[in-house]
Amino acid sequence: MKRIKKSIYGLSCCMLASVLMACGPGGKKTDAAADNGADSTVESAVPEYTVLDKPQVDLSQFQTDKDGYIVIFNGKDFTGWRGYGKDDVPGKWTIEDGAIKFNGSGGGEAQDADGGDIIFAHKFKNFELDFEWKVAKGSNSGVFYLAQEVQTKDPNTGEMRMEPIYISAPEAQILDNENHPDAKLGKDNNRQSLSLYDMIPAVPQNSKPFGEWNTGGIMVYKGTVVHRQNGENVVEYHLWTQQWTDMLQASKFSQDKWPLAFELLNNCGGENREGYIGLQDHGDDVWFRNIRVKILD
């Protein structure tokens, strides 16, 4: 596991991305940052955190289809999958008619002992993810990518605790747009299905009603990210750029509101710019099937 202490973090360092490939935790501001008016002596309120480094599955054990995609869900069992921060898949995730299903508790983002998000236990860097999804009436979920498993130390007890997966990973929203109230929150419909959650709305918004299967896709290639829904590209943005930093600063993950999330997301994928694919437990019934990944390296 990788342990990281509180860091001095400069927003302006990410403006030098063409020179410095990544602004890693613990990095100090450069003279250029100081020239831009940033205070190089101020320490952000980022707590000490640990990025878990668990064993990854061997992709050679998974079938590759005729299109060159690695099939990461075989439709029969959870081979290659486990709970976020766990060794096994939580019990509320099951296999139903060739699909991964989360059996909702109706309690929102409860993440109880039998629930919680799940990840495919291999980190991907440049890739194209294809999947199909459907939701029950009023359901909410999400697909995460470039995720890390992050722990922080409780300042009162000294115990390590898992931070939520979305503290380090962008989220492609999965939602019943017609019946879940989140569809009307956020800004400009940026919480509707296949949007970059709370940042960029999916346009066009072409999801199908609850109970019907949708196709979804996420491409990550050298910082360019594209979300697809039902055959159309609906979101495009660029990681590790000033655009990305500005979007974070305008969101609930801003440096002032959530310093740790800002640091992790601003450098999402870590120093290797790779991470896990995850499926969200938001307390509602949701199904995923035909999940496959093409490596683009």
* Per-residue model confidence (pLDDT) at position 156: 84
Q: What are the pLDDT digits (tens) for 189-201?
A: 999 999 999 999 9
Q: What are the pLDDT digits (tens) for 233-283?
A: 999 999 999 999 999 999 989 999 999 999 999 999 999 999 999 999 999
Rounded CA-CA distance 87/235 in Å is: 33
Q: What are the pLDDT digits (tens) for 164-173?
A: 999 999 999 9
* Per-residue model confidence (pLDDT) at position 22: 35
Backbone angles phi, psi at 279, to 5 degrees: -120, 140
Q: What are the pLDDT digits (tens) for 59-74?
A: 999 999 999 999 999 9
Rounded CA-CA distance 293/275 in Å is: 13
pTM score of the predicted model? 0.85
Q: Which two tokens stand for residue 150?
A: 């992050």
49-295: CATH topology is: Jelly Rolls (2.60.120)
pLDDT band at 33 (very low <50, low <70, confident <90, very high): very low
Half-sphere exposure of 213 (CA within 13 A, CB side): 9
Predicted confidence (pLDDT) at residue 211 exceeds the cutoff of 90: yes
Sign (positive/negative) of CA torsion 130, 115, 149, 139? positive
Q: Which two tokens stand for residue 165?
A: 């997966």
Cβ neighbours around 131 below 10 Å, total = 23
